[in-house]
Amino acid sequence: MGVAIVALKRVRARRLRRRIPAGVCWERGDVRLLIENEITLSAATHKERDPLRWTVTVSGREKLCIIPDRVFTLEFTKTKERILCFLEADRGTMPVERANHSGSSITRKLHAYGLTWTAGIHYSRFGVARVRVLIATL
């Protein structure tokens, strides 16, 4: 089976948010890279103002909003299996944890992605069963 190599170079976060920079992904064999505008969304998700943004509920009342820096899919062309990837680009400004649990932190984001998985949001919004969360420190 072919392998897609996804390598993140040191790029400015502003450029990373606009698009995946040239030279970031090399395709080999039977793996294809699908960027945000090529990903198939559910009909309900497609109609939303910002389809790559969603919320999850923590402990029945607190809501966490998730807005990945980039979303892309690796598609295995022979089997049509897809792996959905959420990229979080950290410029070294976000702490791993916060003592008071308010404000953004890497731990809080990973917790929100875990709740996304538990609630099946990745499948209902994107129709993909396999998910990876990638954190790149720039």
* Global confidence as pTM: 0.75
Banded model confidence at residue 3, pLDDT cuts 50, 70, 90:
very low
The residue among 91, 99, 103, 97 whose CA lies nearest residue 135 is 91
On whether residue 131 sits in a domain, the answer given is yes
Token pair, residue 44, equals 């309900």
On whether residue 9 sits in a domain, the answer given is no
- Provide the mean pLDDT of the chain: 77
On whether residue 53 sits in a domain, the answer given is yes
| Residue partners of 59: CB distance under 8 A and separation at least 6 | none
For the chain, count helices (H), then strands (E): 4, 8
On whether residue 35 sits in a domain, the answer given is yes
| Residue partners of 84: CB distance under 8 A and separation at least 6 | 39, 71, 73, 122, 126, 128, 130, 131, 132
The residue ranking higher by pLDDT, 95 or 100, is 95
**Total domains present in the chain:** 1
Helix or strand holding residue 116 (H, E): helix 106-119
Length of the chain: 138
On whether residue 73 sits in a domain, the answer given is yes
pLDDT single digits (tens) 34-54: 888 888 887 888 788 888 889
Whether the pLDDT of residue 64 is over 80: the answer is yes
On whether residue 107 sits in a domain, the answer given is yes
Q: Are 42 and 125 in contact (CB under 8 A)?
A: yes
On whether residue 47 sits in a domain, the answer given is yes
The residue among 97, 76, 73, 107 whose CA lies nearest residue 87 is 73
Neighbours of 87 (CB within 10 A): 19
- The rounded distance, in Å, linking the Cα atoms of 81 and 95 is 35
On whether residue 54 sits in a domain, the answer given is yes
The whole domain housing 97 covers 29-137
